[in-house]
DNA sequence: ATGGCTGAGCTACTCAGA
């Protein structure tokens, strides 16, 4: 089974890129972040043509997450987090893999910049709540996938110039520690597990030729609970969509499990 | 290099992203 996570930075502005990508890569499940639209304007019909059902948690203008799937997803919900700003950032559902029930969380963590503002404290509180809810969830369920745009640079290797980001909301130790807390509950960062010293990125800024200069960062992740590690076949960052015309600033990360 | 693109909402410009 191929599960893919991609921050598309507006699903409507990106519709051709996303459908082209689907045709080429044929994911079983595609987790989208930053869809930037309300549910009623989500292009479900365009995805239905390729055989996907859409499960959408949108809002006007900003944020928003969705799950596209070739087969029905069970127990989809949007209320895992009690979001103080009512932003649409988590959608979860259940699938079966070789009789294992797996809970999939598709998340879009707040950016948090600039630090020293309420945006940063919102990110900290959001992460604190998310970690705590996942900890509780683990008491009942041991097969969990958390994927999406974490807006966290886990380690120095995960950005082109760490010095520039060590005081940024994506790279501050305080934030990276929340990521470590999540891992310490019993998860693995699958990309890093499979690529010990590889420097690869999932995001490149639109400006200043960041893509051309490979000034990127790895902020989109797949965390799998330790129970699921044996099911992992491969994990890949697919840079091709970032090279296209009118791209998202993020590129997909692709997980194969069986 | 703390914003030099990009998108949404709207139709001039602000807000947001990372």
Tell me how far CA of residue A24 lies from CA of A50, A84, A153, A241, in angstroms: 11, 39, 29, 11
* pLDDT tens string A83-140: 999 999 999 999 999 999 999 999 999 999 999 999 999 999 999 999 999 999 999 9
* pLDDT tens string A185-220: 999 999 999 999 999 999 999 999 999 999 999 999
Asked if strand B comes closer than 7 Å to A249 Cβ, the answer is yes
Asked if strand B comes closer than 7 Å to A214 Cβ, the answer is no
Gap from A11 CA to B11 C1', in Å?
23
Q: Do β-strands A100-108 and A144-149 pair in parallel, antiparallel, or remain unpaired?
A: parallel
Average pLDDT over residues A1-29: 98
Percent of chain A with pLDDT over 90: 100
Asked if strand B comes closer than 7 Å to A142 Cβ, the answer is no
Instruction: Please compute Rg for chain A using Cα positions.
Output: 17
pLDDT confidence band for A169 (50 / 70 / 90): very high
Average pLDDT over residues A16-37: 98
pLDDT confidence band for A65 (50 / 70 / 90): very high
Helices (H), ranges, chain A: 15-25, 44-48, 118-137, 162-165, 173-184, 190-194, 210-213
Gap from A35 CA to B8 C1', in Å?
11
Q: What is the pLDDT of residue A42?
A: 98
Give me the domains of chain A, ranges plus CATH numbers.
Answer: 2-257 (3.60.10.10)
Asked if strand B comes closer than 7 Å to A199 Cβ, the answer is no
């Amino acid at each position: 089974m191929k599960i893919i996570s991609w921050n598309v930075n507006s699903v409507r502005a990106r519709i051709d890129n996303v459908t082209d990508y689907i045709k080429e890569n044929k994911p079983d499940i595609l987790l989208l972040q930053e869809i930037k639209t309300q549910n009623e304007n989500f292009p479900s019909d365009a995805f239905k043509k390729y055989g996907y059902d859409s499960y959408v948690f949108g809002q006007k203008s900003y944020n928003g997450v969705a799950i596209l799937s070739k087969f029905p997803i069970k127990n989809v919900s949007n209320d895992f987090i009690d979001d103080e700003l009512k932003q649409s950032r988590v959608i979860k559902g259940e699938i079966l893999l070789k009789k294992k029930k797996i809970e999939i969380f598709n998340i879009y963590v707040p950016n948090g910049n600039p630090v020293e503002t309420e945006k940063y404290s919102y990110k900290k509180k959001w992460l604190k709540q998310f970690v705590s809810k996942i900890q509780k969830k683990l008491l009942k369920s041991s097969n969990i996938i958390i994927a999406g745009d974490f807006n966290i640079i886990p380690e120095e290797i995960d950005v082109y110039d760490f010095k520039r980001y060590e005081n940024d909301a994506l790279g501050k130790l305080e934030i990276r520690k929340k990521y470590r807390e999540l891992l310490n509950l019993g998860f693995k960062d699958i990309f890093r597990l499979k690529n010990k010293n590889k420097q690869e990125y999932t995001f490149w800024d639109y400006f200043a030729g960041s893509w051309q200069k490979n000034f990127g960062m790895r902020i989109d992740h797949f965390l799998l609970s330790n129970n699921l590690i044996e099911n992992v076949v491969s994990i890949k960052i697919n840079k091709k969509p970032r090279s296209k015309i009118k791209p998202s600033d993020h590129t997909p990360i692709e997980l194969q499990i069986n």
